[in-house]
Amino acid sequence: MITKTLESALNLQINKELFSSYLYLSMAYWFDGIGLKGASAWLKTQSEEEREHAMKLVEHLADRGGTVEFSAIEKPKNSWKDPMDAFQEVLKHEQFITKSIHDLYAVAAQENDLPAQIMLQWFVSEQVEEERNAADIISNMTRIQNHETAVLQLDHQMGKRARS
Ligand code: FEO
């Protein structure tokens, strides 16, 4: 049985993951509006992944006999200064989520809840990838701003070269 302290911490994280999904969906349609369909598709996929993260936590809570309690999801922004501004927000948000996952893990440890700690280890690893993905996109965007568009395009094409 899960403790009330951990139950409420998990419910809070579920809300944060659902907000992440909402934020990235909003961002996806902002990119769609400015004609950048690739970034829009990336963010739609990211939004779906965030919902899956929420569902992992929901299922764990339900499996453990806890009470799933959904709260109102905060309204996300719907416009950004430019693509760099948007992806900087993605990175900042993921850093916030990483801290939140680490805090949640600490609660599970403090409550001596082994199943929750094991389940949360997946999230700890996932956050490393989430931050890395956003940082990589920012790094590529920085190069584009420095007029390295041609280098990136060539790199992309070379990566697609088939074996002859
Ligand atoms: Fe579910 Fe992007 O953290």
Give yes or no for residue 16 CB within 6 A of ligand 1: no
Rounded-to-integer distance, Cα 102 and Cα 57, Å: 14
pLDDT per residue, tens digit, the chain (164 aa), is 899 999 999 999 999 999 999 999 999 999 999 888 888 888 999 999 999 999 999 999 999 999 999 999 999 999 999 888 999 999 999 999 999 999 999 999 999 999 999 999 999 999 999 999 999 888 888 877 666 464 445 344 434 435 44
**Which tokens sit at 83?**
């693509």
Give yes or no for residue 89 CB within 6 A of ligand 1: no
Total-model pTM: 0.89
Residue in 53, 137, 143 with CA at minimum distance from that of residue 100: 53
Rounded-to-integer distance, Cα 74 and Cα 1, Å: 30
Give yes or no for residue 53 CB within 6 A of ligand 1: yes
Backbone phi, psi, residue 65, to 5°: 80, 15
Give yes or no for residue 97 CB within 6 A of ligand 1: yes
What is residue 153's predicted lDDT score, i.e. its pLDDT? 53
What is residue 108's predicted lDDT score, i.e. its pLDDT? 98
Give the domains, in start order, of the chain with CATH numbers: 4-73+80-158 (1.20.1260.10)
Nearest-atom number in ligand 1 for the CA of 127 is 3
Would you mind telling me the total number of residues written for the chain in this entry?
164
For the chain, the maximum distance between any two Cα atoms, rounded to a whole number of angstroms, is 62
Long-range contacts of 32-36 (CB under 8 A, 24+ apart): 34/83, 36/83
Exposure of 163 in the CB half-sphere (CA atoms within 13 A): 0
